[in-house]
């Protein structure tokens, strides 16, 4: 195990004690005592790469409001997910359990809302709870006194929302609308005498990256340079070679890059899909959109780009629209932080900013996520809580989205149930002495499917990563992240790493046993998936 300022040992048995519901009198005492429990605002965006948050120092864009959370609190340099795909990641976040335990292993299988989640536990101790924005799981959310969520992926313009089970369309831009609903709940719908939990979840920057009108021209004067491995040849990495998420090869000119020409001469497989999104706009929105994109479309047709010129043009179109949608997310974060300041709530409110997973911004030539490679495996985590976290705190330990649920319960002084598999990082982020994990576990199940990413699982330590790809083929990859941070060289069969390979296999078996996973469970979920998709192995 890895030790951080180690002075005392906290066993897992101590962390995962059973949870008993307190009495109503106890609830009242918890709320009215002089030292009230903290409020919690958990902000999650969708597919927001850590590379696209300026606090991480990559220089792509500026996110001053999100950065405030890090500057006034903590930034996590090794935050990761357990399963890099939308709905499963959110299920892990809610339950504190790996996908194979909570049952939501992919975007196909249903999520069981009847199981425990941390919001339900906070309700039992008097928290008022709300879920606003994207959750991407069917059914009426449980554990929330108020919910107003997007159905499925949601739309960027004039989206539908489901408020406490009732569906309605709201005019405007989805990011701003989500922020407005969150602020309305904070200002007008919550009980100011109760501690609150607000899950404030944005759709952006999920594909297809439709910017808000005010940001359509942002980055027009900037040319983005592709990452060093943009032209990756995937040598000795057959799973990577089989992908269908290349910016050059798979990004749709209309659906992804908005080349919806009025003449209809740019014919692509997903043109109609984007046409439907465009048609949701009202006349004023279309006018602003057309005024910007029509000249871009005309120039694209005139230039007739090919080869690397086309690849890098597509990369720049993608990057600009992707980053523009993030600017609206950052605006909303600023509005929420300002509200806390104005109401005197900052000191006793935990604010977390994260994403449901990472995202590729041209690394390996890709967009999307799914792989256990760093850019999709790693997720941004920034956290502020002035009562306990010192400004400028940096966390370099291995933290996962599995840990959010037990951490929030820890702050609320609620015992963590034995079923949760994550660990509270409250002491870690407060700078206290704590024993911490030395390895993290990852799984991905959605194959055969979109983007053609093979089913796999693996383990990561501070330095090494071991991945097992299975189903159509059976092979292993291993990386030395210290020497090869961009994961270009598969060293699994390198004799110089024979001892490391053996140790990583042992570590993989250790974490699979710890988290109660095995090949039989993988086969069970594979059979369920194939049946749901109408496929046969």
Q: Where are the beta strands (DSSP E) in 252-380?
A: 349-355
pLDDT for residue 30:
47
CA distances from 39 to 30, 236, 332, 339, 345 (A): 13, 49, 19, 13, 8
Q: Convert the pLDDT of each residue in 157-188 to its tens digit.
A: 999 999 999 999 999 999 999 999 999 999 99
pLDDT for residue 35:
81
Query: What architecture (CATH level 2) is domain 2-208+322-437?
Result: 3-Layer(aba) Sandwich (3.40)
Query: What secondary structure letter does DSSP report for 459?
Result: E
For residue 287, how far is the Cα from the chain centroid?
33
What DSSP assignment string belongs to 17-70? ----PPPHHHHHHHHHSSSPPPEEEEEEESS--GGGSGGG---S---HHHHHHH
User: Is there a contact between 381 and 42 (Cβ–Cβ < 8 Å)?
Assistant: no
pLDDT for residue 286:
98
Half-sphere exposure of 502 (CA within 13 A, CB side): 4
CA distances from 115 to 41, 85, 91, 96, 97 (A): 22, 21, 11, 11, 11
User: The dihedral of CA 480, 481, 482, 483: what is its sign?
Assistant: positive
Give CA–CA dist 300/298, Å, rounded.
Answer: 5
CA distances from 16 to 8, 81, 143, 404 (A): 17, 21, 21, 14
pLDDT for residue 34:
67
Take residue 360 and report the two structure tokens written for it.
Answer: 């590729």
Give CA–CA dist 172/22, Å, rounded.
Answer: 43
* Domain residue extents for the chain: 2-208+322-437, 234-318, 443-531
Residues β-bridged to residue 161: 168
Residues β-bridged to residue 438: none
Give CA–CA dist 224/221, Å, rounded.
Answer: 10
Give CA–CA dist 412/26, Å, rounded.
Answer: 13
As a CATH number, domain 443-531 is 3.30.1120.10
pLDDT for residue 24:
35
What DSSP assignment string belongs to 72-132? TSEEETTEE-SS-SHHHHHHHHHHSS-HHHHS--SSSSPP-TTS--HHHHHHHTT-EEEEE
Burial group, residue 196, by CB count within 10 angstroms (0-12, 13-18, 19+): buried
Spans in the chain with pLDDT lower than 70: 1-34, 537
């Amino acid at each position: 195990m890895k030790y951080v300022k180690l002075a005392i040992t906290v066993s897992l048995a101590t962390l995962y004690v059973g949870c008993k519901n307190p009495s109503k009198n106890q609830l009242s005492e918890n709320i009215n005592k002089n030292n009230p429990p903290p409020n919690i605002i958990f902000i999650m965006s969708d597919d927001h790469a850590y590379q696209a948050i300026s606090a991480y120092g990559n220089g792509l864009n500026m996110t001053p409001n999100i950065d405030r959370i890090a500057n006034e609190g903590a930034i996590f340099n090794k935050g990761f997910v357990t399963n890099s795909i939308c709905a499963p990641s959110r299920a892990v976040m809610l339950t504190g359990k790996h996908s194979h335990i909570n049952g939501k292993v992919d975007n196909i299988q249903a999520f069981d809302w009847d199981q425990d989640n941390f919001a339900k536990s906070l309700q039992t101790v008097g928290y008022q709870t709300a879920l606003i924005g994207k959750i991407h799981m069917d059914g009426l959310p449980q554990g929330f006194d108020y919910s107003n969520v997007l159905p499925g992926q949601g739309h960027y313009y004039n989206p539908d929302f489901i408020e406490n089970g009732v569906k309605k369309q709201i005019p405007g831009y989805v990011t701003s609308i989500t922020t407005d609903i969150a602020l309305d709940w904070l200002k007008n719908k919550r009980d100011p005498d109760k501690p609150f939990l607000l899950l404030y979840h944005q759709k952006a920057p999920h594909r297809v990256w439709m910017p808000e009108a005010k940001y359509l021209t942002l980055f027009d004067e900037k040319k983005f340079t592709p990452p060093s491995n943009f032209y990756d040849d995937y040598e000795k990495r057959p799973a990577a070679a089989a992908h269908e998420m290349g910016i050059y090869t798979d990004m749709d000119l209309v659906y992804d890059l908005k080349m919806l020409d009025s003449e209809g001469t740019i014919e692509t497989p997903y043109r109609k899909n984007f046409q439907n999104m465009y048609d949701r706009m009202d006349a004023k929105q279309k006018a602003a959109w057309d005024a910007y994109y029509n000249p871009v479309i005309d120039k694209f047709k005139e230039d007739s780009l090919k080869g690397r010129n086309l690849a890098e043009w597509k990369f720049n179109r993608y990057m600009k629209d992707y980053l523009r949608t993030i600017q609206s997310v950052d605006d909303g974060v600023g509005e929420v932080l300002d509200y806390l300041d104005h109401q005197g709530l900052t000191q006793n409110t935990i604010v977390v900013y994260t994403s449901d997973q990472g995202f590729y911004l041209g690394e390996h030539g890709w967009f999307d996520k799914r792989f256990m490679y760093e850019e999709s495996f790693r997720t941004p985590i920034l956290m502020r809580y002035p009562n306990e976290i010192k400004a400028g705190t940096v966390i370099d330990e291995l933290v996962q989205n599995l840990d959010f649920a037990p951490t929030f319960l820890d702050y609320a002084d609620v015992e963590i149930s034995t079923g949760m598999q994550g660990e509270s990082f409250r002491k870690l982020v407060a700078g206290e002495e704590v024993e911490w994990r030395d390895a993290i576990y990852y799984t991905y199940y959605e194959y055969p499917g979109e983007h053609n990413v093979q089913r796999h699982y693996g383990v990561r330590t501070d330095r090494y990563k071991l991945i097992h790809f299975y189903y159509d083929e059976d092979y292993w990859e291993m990386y030395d992240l210290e020497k090869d941070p961009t994961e270009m060289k598969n060293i699994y069969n390198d004799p110089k790493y024979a001892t490391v390979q053996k140790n990583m296999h042992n570590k993989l078996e250790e974490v699979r046993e710890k988290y109660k996973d095995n090949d039989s469970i993988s086969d069970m979920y594979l059979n369920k998936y194939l049946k749901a998709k109408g496929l046969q192995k």
